[in-house]
Amino acid sequence: MKAMAGVGVPPQAPTVVTAADGVTRCRWATETGRDLTAYHDDEWGRPTHDETTLFEALALTYFENGLSWASVFDKRDNLRKAFQGFNPTAVAAMVGIPGTAARIACIAVVRSRSLKRD
């Protein structure tokens, strides 16, 4: 797999590139084995005050910790289902509901294999 988010990228390599369409983007958007140009151009780094959009960005960033962004992005639809469309109120209401732990632990959702189950 190609380098993601600067990992394994030679220090002399630029962190931005100009694509064939003439748009300058972060290297990870086009040269990491996945085409993330739509995400880069339309979502990433865009200011928002929408609670659901902010919660999604926070959750995806949390799951990306220690993984490649591409891994998290591949699971985005599964995460959206597991977290009620990233609706903070709906997620808060999941606390204590039977089956919530199973939903979050589902193989379709990004999770750390190092987590121990009680």
**pLDDT per residue over 41-62, tens digit each?**
888 888 889 999 999 999 888 8
The reply to whether 100 falls in a domain is yes
Tokens representing residue 15 in the block: 């962190």
Q: What does the angle CA 15 – CA 17 – CA 21 come to, to the nearest 5 degrees?
A: 155
The reply to whether 11 falls in a domain is yes
Statement to judge: residues 89 and 69 lie in one domain: yes
Whether the predicted model's global pTM rises above the 0.85 cut: no
Statement to judge: residues 8 and 38 lie in one domain: yes
State which H helix or E strand residue 30 sits in.
none
The reply to whether 110 falls in a domain is no
User: Could you write out the DSSP letters of every residue in 48-92?
Assistant: ---HHHHHHHHHHHHHHTTS-HHHHHHTHHHHHHHTGGG-HHHHH
The reply to whether 113 falls in a domain is no
Q: How far is CA 77 from the centre of its chain?
A: 10
| pLDDT band at residue 83 using 50, 70 and 90 as cut-offs | confident
CB 26 within 8 A of CB 15: yes
Question: Structural domain of residue 31, as residue ranges?
Answer: 1-46
Question: Among the listed ranges 15-19, 50-54, 93-97, 99-103, which one has the minimum average pLDDT value?
Answer: 99-103
The reply to whether 112 falls in a domain is no
For 104-118, what is each residue's pLDDT tens digit? 666 566 655 554 444
| pLDDT band at residue 1 using 50, 70 and 90 as cut-offs | very low
| 6 pLDDT higher than 50 | no
Q: Facing residues of 18 across strands? A: 24
